[in-house]
């Protein structure tokens, strides 16, 4: 029998030679196919047309010499196992919803809620001290600034008001302070329309001392204002007090309280003594915590009396840091007032004070 190899006739080849030739041809074909596949795609089947890097992942022993000049892959992590059969690409997992995310992308805990409690007054009575003291409690989150929503910004709407509030958990109380609410005629109705269950805190102080403190604050900003005596009286010789001056009018607590009692029961209003807040801050804060329905967390260990300022400062019981006192605007030295003027104002406020005591069931001992 004649054999033809590469187009030429030749003598019969031994069986061993035929097998070697067949094996060589098969090996060459396989190597060529492997090389073509590896040059077109990387180990994960990514096309070169998509910009995938030309690299090889573990060439076979038979193709090592042929592919020696190719660049190997350096994967950053373990190589995933190659699927046995092609499958449809998996749908990308939806990004998680981050409600109220901060700039770093991590979610902020809690929800912005309308306040469940308000410090509604009074100006220069000690409202800032109460706010700073109650903020120490882990179950209370309070807005640091005065939003003046129910007196000046009511037209902005409740959504705007809610947006100002700090985020709170379900177990926390949202609180804000604006002392001018107490003397705003529309404030009780507006707060009632927001929530009839709102708890109200009113910090009161001897109205004569409060008026002098109010005047001292105004004088620090407007040095050219008239004297305290000149603003307090329409006719001093006749003892006619000028109730149109806001510093005097605020101290007529019984008059303002009537507007609140039209919408809220007395049990829903808690009155704080500005004087006792100085002499016994833990006692007054204990009663506030009871009113809010929270644990008595703030105690004597949280306070340090600052003799220079004349009122207590906050301290952390477990900290060695100095106590944190209120700002420079608190604890100003009052201007000196003629004692006769003070006596006249005490007589003016006496009937209002007595009516206030009787209404709230407390004697604040301002006489």
246 marked as part of a ligand binding site: yes
355 marked as part of a ligand binding site: no
| Nearest C-alpha neighbor of 344 from the set 255, 214, 236 | 236
334 marked as part of a ligand binding site: yes
128 marked as part of a ligand binding site: yes
Whole-angstrom CA distances from 68 to 35, 38, 53, 60, 181 are 11, 13, 17, 11, 84
71 marked as part of a ligand binding site: no
Chain centroid to Cα 161, Å, comes to 14
* Residue 72 bridge partners (DSSP): 56
245 marked as part of a ligand binding site: yes
d(CA 147, CA 176): 8
127 marked as part of a ligand binding site: yes
Could you give the 3-state DSSP secondary structure of residue 128?
helix
The runs of H, that is alpha helices, within the chain are: 15-40, 127-134, 158-164, 187-194, 207-221, 228-232, 246-249, 253-261, 274-279, 281-292, 339-360
Which are the contacts of 251, defined by CB distance < 8 A and separation ≥ 6? 122, 207, 208, 210, 211, 349, 352
333 marked as part of a ligand binding site: yes
77 marked as part of a ligand binding site: no
177 marked as part of a ligand binding site: yes
Residue 108: active-site member: no
316 marked as part of a ligand binding site: no
Choice among 69, 108, 112, 124 that is catalytic: 124
Question: Which two three-digit tokens encode residue 48?
Answer: 């070169």
252, 352 in Cβ contact below 8 A? yes
284 marked as part of a ligand binding site: no
Residue set of the binding site: 124-128, 146-152, 177-180, 205, 213, 245-246, 330-334
Active site residues: 124
Residue set of the binding site for substrate: 146-152, 177-180, 245-246
Residue set of the binding site for 3'-phosphoadenylyl sulfate: 124-128, 205, 213, 330-334
């Amino acid at each position: 029998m004649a054999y033809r190899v590469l187009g030429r006739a030749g003598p019969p080849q031994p069986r061993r030679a035929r097998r070697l030739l067949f094996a060589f041809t098969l090996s060459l074909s396989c190597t060529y196919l492997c090389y073509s596949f590896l040059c077109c795609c990387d180990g994960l089947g990514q096309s070169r047309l998509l910009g995938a890097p030309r690299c090889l992942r573990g060439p076979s022993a038979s193709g090592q010499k042929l592919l020696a000049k190719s660049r190997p892959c350096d994967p950053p992590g373990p190589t995933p196992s190659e699927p046995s059969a092609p499958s449809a690409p998996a749908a990308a997992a939806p990004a998680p919803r981050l409600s109220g995310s901060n700039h770093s992308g991590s979610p902020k805990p809690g929800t912005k809620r309308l306040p469940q409690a308000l410090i509604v007054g009074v100006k220069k009575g000690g409202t800032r001290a109460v706010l700073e003291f109650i903020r120490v409690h882990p179950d209370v989150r309070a807005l640091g600034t005065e939003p003046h929503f129910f007196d000046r910004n009511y037209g902005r709407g409740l959504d705007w008001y809610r947006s100002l509030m700090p985020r709170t958990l379900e177990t926390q109380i949202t609180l804000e302070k604006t002392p001018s609410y107490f003397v705003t005629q529309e404030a009780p109705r507006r707060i009632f329309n927001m929530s009839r269950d709102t708890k109200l805190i009113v910090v009161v102080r001897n109205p004569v001392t409060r008026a002098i403190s109010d005047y001292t604050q105004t004088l620090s900003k407007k040095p050219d204002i008239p004297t305290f005596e000149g603003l307090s009286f329409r006719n001093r010789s006749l003892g006619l007090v000028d109730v149109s001056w806001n510093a005097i009018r605020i101290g007529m607590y019984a008059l303002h309280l009537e507007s609140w009692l039209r919408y809220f029961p007395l049990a829903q209003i808690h009155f704080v003594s500005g004087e006792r807040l100085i002499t016994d801050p833990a006692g007054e804060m204990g009663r506030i915590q009871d009113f809010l329905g929270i644990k008595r967390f703030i105690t004597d260990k949280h306070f340090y009396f600052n003799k220079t300022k004349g009122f207590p400062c906050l301290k952390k019981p477990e900290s060695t840091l100095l106590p944190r006192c209120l700002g420079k605007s608190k604890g100003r030295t009052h201007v000196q007032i003629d004692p006769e003027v003070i006596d006249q104002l005490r007589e003016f406020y006496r009937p209002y004070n007595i009516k206030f005591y009787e209404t709230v069931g407390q004697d604040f001992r301002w006489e």
